Amino acid sequence: DQQVKQNSPSLSVQEGRISILNCDYTNSMFDYFLWYKKYPAEGPTFLISISSIKDKNEDGRFTVFLNKSAKHLSLHIVPSQPGDSAVYFCAASRSAASKLTFGTGTRLQVTL
Amino acid sequence: EPEVTQTPSHQVTQMGQEVILRCVPISNHLYFYWYRQILGQKVEFLVSFYNNEISEKSEIFDDQFSVERPDGSNFTLKIRSTKLEDSAMYFCASTIPLSYEQYFGPGTRLTVT
């Protein structure tokens, strides 16, 4: 079941630069997308989300872009900070309060 | 800030034994979930629970699994007869009605030997 895919298992970015994490999905029934951040030995932490009726949502250093026609979304972090080093999961949902379908995650390493 | 809590943080059990994983969701949340993550794999949905009944479950959630809300605060996942392949991190999550954002607990690492 590969309905949500994150094709880059890892990404290394210098502090201060932009981090771009990508996610693709196949199920056109998804109407809401979320990004979660996960540190080792902790649960996923909600970061930012976007409804399928929007193409951009911004929250401080984090911006999520959605391209519905391409079934693609991306998370931009600018500027990247060492504390951003974590695994980032893209997730999708078909309706409010329904299950989340996760991607495989991208490990972001922000270097000094 | 309210959090989802889970106990124990690590559970080691022998194959064939029953385990109960416990969660305390955020107090005003009404939807509850269990997910699991096998080492190196993605987070997978197991089951959702609302109004004292299962609202959705995955293929993984077979007859060996059950969920319960025994009182006003706890939400439990029981695995009746554990298998080696049940070894994983189990995450509890909760949310309010009409919300998409689910809030996760820190997880319970289950090791089946």
Judged by CB atoms closer than 8 Å, whether chains meet at B95 and A32 is answered as no
Q: How many domains does chain B have?
A: 1
Q: How confident is the model at residue B52 (pLDDT cuts 50, 70, 90)?
A: very high
- The CATH code of the domain that includes B87 is 2.60.40.10
Q: Which residues on B lie below 8 Å from A5 (Cβ)?
A: none
Q: What is the mean pLDDT of residues A5-30?
A: 96
Q: What is the mean pLDDT of residues B81-102?
A: 96
Residue B70 pLDDT > 90: no
CA distance B105 to B97: 18
Using a CB–CB cutoff of 8 Å, tell me whether B99 touches chain A.
yes
Judged by CB atoms closer than 8 Å, whether chains meet at B97 and A42 is answered as no
Average pLDDT, chain A: 95
Q: What is the mean pLDDT of residues A29-52?
A: 94
pLDDT tens for each residue of A59-84: 999 999 999 999 999 999 999 999 99
Using a CB–CB cutoff of 8 Å, tell me whether B103 touches chain A.
yes
Q: What is the mean pLDDT of residues B35-54?
A: 94
Fold adopted by A4-111: Immunoglobulin-like (2.60.40)
Q: Is A66 helix (H, G, I), strand (E, B) or coil?
A: strand
Q: Give me the residue spans of the domains in chain A.
A: 4-111
Distance from CA of A16 to the nearest CA of B (A): 29
DSSP string, B7-69: E-SEEEE-TT--EEEEEE--TT--EEEEEEE-TTS-EEEEEEEETTEEEEE-TT--TTEEEE-
pLDDT tens for each residue of B15-42: 999 999 999 999 999 999 999 999 988 9
Q: What is the mean pLDDT of residues B39-46?
A: 92
Residue B35 belongs to what domain range?
Answer: 5-99+107-111
pLDDT of res. A1: 59
Using a CB–CB cutoff of 8 Å, tell me whether A90 touches chain B.
no
pLDDT of res. A91: 98
Residue A92 pLDDT > 70: yes
Q: Which is it for strands B108-112 and B10-13: parallel, antiparallel or unpaired? A: parallel
Q: Dig out the tokens for B2 from the structure.
A: 């309210």
**Which chain A residue shows the shortest CA-CA distance from B41?**
A104
